[in-house]
Amino acid sequence: MKTRPGICQRKRRFASREECEAVALGAETRLRTYKCALCGQFHLTSRTKGLRPPRGFG
Looking at the DSSP assignment, which residues form a beta bridge with residue 50?
none
How much of the chain exceeds pLDDT 70, in percent? Answer: 83
How do residues 33-43 score in pLDDT, each as one tens digit? 999 999 999 99
Output the pTM of the full model. Answer: 0.74
DSSP per residue, the chain: -PPPHHHHHHS--BSSHHHHHHHHHTSSS--EEEE-TTTSSEEEE---TT-PPPTT--
Is the pLDDT confidence value at 58 over 60?
A: no
- Which pLDDT belongs to residue 51? 61
Which residue has better confidence, 10 or 54?
10
